[in-house]
Homo-oligomer: A and B are copies of this chain.
Amino acid sequence: MSSQEQVLEVARRARQAAAELAPLPRAVKDAALHAIADALVAGSARIVEANAADVARAREAGISEYMIDRLSLTDERIAAIAAAVRHVASLPDPVGESVRGYTLPNGLELRQVRVPLGVVGIIYEGRPNVTVDAAALTLKSGNAVLLRGSSSAYDSNTALVEVMRAALADAGGVPADAIQLVPGRDRDSVKHLMRARGLVDVLIPRGGASLINSVVEESTVPVIETGTGNCHVYVDAAADLDMAVDILVNAKTQRPSVCNAAETVLVHRDIAGEFLPRALRALGEKGVTVHGDAAVRAHAGEGATVVEATEEDWGTEYLSLDLAAAVVDSLDDAVAHIRRYGSAHTEAIVTTSQSAARRFTALVDSAAVMVNASTRFTDGEEFGFGAEIGISTQKLHARGPMGLPELTSTKYIVTGEGQLRGA
């Protein structure tokens, strides 16, 4: 079979599995998830062995230790992955939830209920735990999944998917084809997946901006963009400056490599003289390099690392201990800067002013707007969703952290007793 025919074949099998999976009650899906968790623990040695081959290849290729750590699986990590699957089983089933319902004037009873999306394709990088996370979340929400992970984790992902499929086959109830790896290590398989319109209902790319842009550009399957975060912290003229320093340091340094970490701070001119020396010192203590405009650089003192910001800095998602910093003349200027350079993920304002908070939250057009809180809170778990498949930075379908309900569509069920339409 050609590469394309192989991809279409798994997509067709996924479509059939999705039809069988959609009407299954929660108990069957949860039992399957527990069977998967048990099988992962039981198959741990086999998975670790497959993973060792990926890790060895990565070392030969001179991959950084950081990336190798992300790639590596151990018995402990597999136990944690299995525990996450059991946690997904404990979450409410979104399928069948009645979103709205009422009786129409002509007596028709209308209900809008959640149904699975169908076949969900996930394109992702590095970490093999995503393979299991994504499979568990899509299964719980009644969807069949096509997994296309990084070729660097191909052996690990193959082993994980084999273990999960065997668990489904043993447990019965959920068809094994509900979880499939997209065959092929090269880019062609991604391309075929993106053109499998009619077989695949949605693609969720998880990864860097270039992956996401190429999927958006080439896909005829509907896409949910995730994960690019150029997040801003704006320190208002009226702000508790201790709180502002704490929030900024937390947002930048608590975990710099993730999409909800802050990448730019905007400081109102009125408090710049008081705020910046303290903030730059606190950031310096954490090892942050600040890329500042002239007004910021004027406040660089001992313990601070401040370099000159270029135009490019304002649009950069560093994902490192770097931070762009500018002084602005007003809240509206901060909003304009964010609109121009931001990625509409998460922005925070630190202010004691009710009207400033109100204006900022009204004018900033991002998935999440924080008032006096760290940008790091934009996260499915933190938002109380129990789990997260990704953070959508688009406006259609889902925006912000996506939990189980965001992996569903809806269907109208209208019940009558022979109603006909007159006009």
Instruction: Check A373–B412 contact: CB distance below 8 A.
Output: no
By a CB distance below 8 angstroms, the chain B residues around A62 are none
A185 at the interface (CB under 8 A from B): no
Instruction: Check A412–B367 contact: CB distance below 8 A.
Output: yes
A361 at the interface (CB under 8 A from B): yes
Q: How many angstroms between the C-alpha atoms of A395 and B117 in the bound complex?
A: 6
Instruction: Check B110–A362 contact: CB distance below 8 A.
Output: no
Q: Which residue on B lies nearest to A195, using beta carbons? A: B217
Of the candidates B357, B365, B397, the one whose C-beta lies within 8 Å of that of A397 is B397
CB distance from A84 to the nearest CB of B (A): 15
A334-374 CB mask vs B (1 if < 8 Å, else 0) is 00000100000000000000000100011101111111111
By a CB distance below 8 angstroms, the chain B residues around A357 are 415
By a CB distance below 8 angstroms, the chain B residues around A22 are 362-363, 365
Instruction: Check A254–B420 contact: CB distance below 8 A.
Output: yes
Instruction: Check A368–B418 contact: CB distance below 8 A.
Output: no
By a CB distance below 8 angstroms, the chain B residues around A23 are 362-363
Q: Is the interface of A mostly helix, strand, loop or mixed?
A: mixed
A53 at the interface (CB under 8 A from B): no
A382 at the interface (CB under 8 A from B): yes
Q: How many angstroms between the C-alpha atoms of A374 and B357 in the bound complex?
A: 50
Q: Which residue on B lies nearest to A409, using beta carbons? A: B395
Of the candidates B399, B411, B418, the one whose C-beta lies within 8 Å of that of A243 is B418
Q: How many angstroms between the C-alpha atoms of A422 and B365 in the bound complex?
A: 27
Nearest first, the 4 closest Cβ-Cβ pairs linking A and B are: A373-B416, A395-B409, A376-B421, A250-B420
A202 at the interface (CB under 8 A from B): yes
A118 at the interface (CB under 8 A from B): yes
* Given known contacts A357-B415, A370-B414, A383-B104, A246 and B362 CB-to-CB distance under 8 angstroms: no
